[in-house]
Amino acid sequence: MTIKRVAIVGLGLLGGSLGLALKEYCPDIVTTGYDSDPETRRRAAERGLAGTICESASGAVAEADLVVMCVPVGAMGAVATEIADALPRQAIVSDVGSSKASIHAAISAALPEHIVIPAHPVAGTEQSGPDAGFASLFQHRWCILTPPDDVPEEAVAALRTLWEALGAEVEIMSAEHHDLVLAVTSHLPHLIAYTIVGTASDLEDVTRGEVIKYSAGGFRDFTRIAASDPTMWRDVFLSNKDAVLEMLQVFSEDLTRLQRAIRRDDGDALFELFSKTRAIRRGIIEMGQDDARPDFGRSDHEG
């Protein structure tokens, strides 16, 4: 099974990056793209995010071997319904959504006869829209595939080969396990960042000007995450509710333990935890998942 024609639905950060990456690393693959926003379609055509920008989702998928839905998580089911009649029977349907079990359920309900292989490239920035994408977004980043048991192995292999060609490292796991892992590595950190930034902006005794002025003390690193797209993150929390709530419970208990250690002047407990977390940071850098430089090397990608 070889993928020769890819349709991308949703031409924002992820869809645009996918289109640009395909153009750069798989130039023989023919791409079509569609976005519901006419202004995004216009900009996508200008930037060449896909070979052909279509006026409808059906038009974009009509000859595809692979469709990748790059829309907000809450819109996946509606897009699947929209393309159902036009989609070739043998086409593989995939997505890039940040949660997996509920997306798989929504897509399969609309496309029960098709091969559906959910995917999540664990790569992104806090930017969104058709100007945000860049071809190297997936380089050296993990892409998690969550194929259901009954999907043909050749289809999984074809999708794996494609993501590897774009520079990603592919891992396969169940949708449920993905949702639990991402709840702790991505969704909970976003929830914490949204909370801290919200709390700081609501304080009465510290002015907003002071919060911004002295942000280098740590706060500004949270603001980067808390600037992420509101639509995307609303949908992520609602679609991965159970795993997020489970991790939030564990987190609340750990926070209570820390509160107790501070109240009791238990320096050993604090030191032990902070030493453990430092080792995790070192592990992330050693695995090439972040950069040791103070700006995390981001200026290389984002200007």
Q: Look at residue 9 and give its three-state secondary structure.
A: strand
Q: Min. distance of Cβ 300 from ligand NAP in angstroms?
A: 17
Q: Whole-number minimum distance, CB 19 to ligand NAP, in Å?
A: 11
Select 119 or 156, whichever has its Cβ closest to ligand NAP.
119
Residue closer to ligand NAP by CB (options 30, 78) is: 78
Least distance to ligand NAP, CB of residue 207, Å = 31
Tell me if 5 sits within 8 A of 64, measured CB to CB.
Answer: yes
Of the two residues 1 and 227, which places its CB atom closer to ligand NAP in the complex? 227
Closer by beta carbon to ligand NAP, 9 or else 91: 9
Q: Is the CB of 57 or the CB of 92 nearer to ligand NAP?
A: 57
Least Cβ distance, residue 267 to ligand NAP (angstroms): 38
Q: Which of 92, 96 has the CB closer to ligand NAP?
A: 96
170-174 long-range Cβ contacts below 8 angstroms, 24+ apart: 170/142, 170/143, 170/144, 170/145, 171/142, 171/143, 171/144, 171/145, 172/144, 172/145, 172/146, 172/147, 173/144, 173/146, 174/146
Here the tokens at position 295 are 């700006």
Residue 56 or residue 256: which is nearer to ligand NAP going by CB? 56
Question: Among 252, 118, 98, 268, which residue's Cα sits nearest to residue 183?
Answer: 98
Q: Minimum Å distance from CB 142 to ligand NAP?
A: 11
Give Cα separations from 104 to 93, 143, 144 (angstroms). Answer: 10, 16, 14
What's the rounded Cα separation, in Å, for the pair 127 and 125? 5
93's tokens: 């349907």
Instruction: State in angstroms the smallest separation of the CB of 32 from ligand NAP.
Output: 13
Which residue, 132 or 149, is less far from ligand NAP as judged by CB?
Answer: 132
Binding interface with ligand NAP (CB under 6 A): 9-15, 35-37, 40, 57, 70-73, 75, 78-79, 96-98, 121, 124, 128-129, 132, 229, 232, 236
Exposed, middle or buried: residue 40 (CB in 10 Å: 0-12, 13-18, 19+)? buried
Nearest distance in Å: CB 156, ligand NAP: 19
Report whether 172 contacts 151 (CB < 8 A).
no
The CB density around residue 219, as the number of other CB atoms within 10 Å, is 16
The strand pairing partners of 169, in sequence order, are 142
C-alpha 54/C-alpha 45 separation (Å) is 10
Question: What's the CA gap between 35 and 56, in Å, rounded?
Answer: 8
- Nearest distance from C-beta of residue 221 to ligand NAP, angstroms: 16
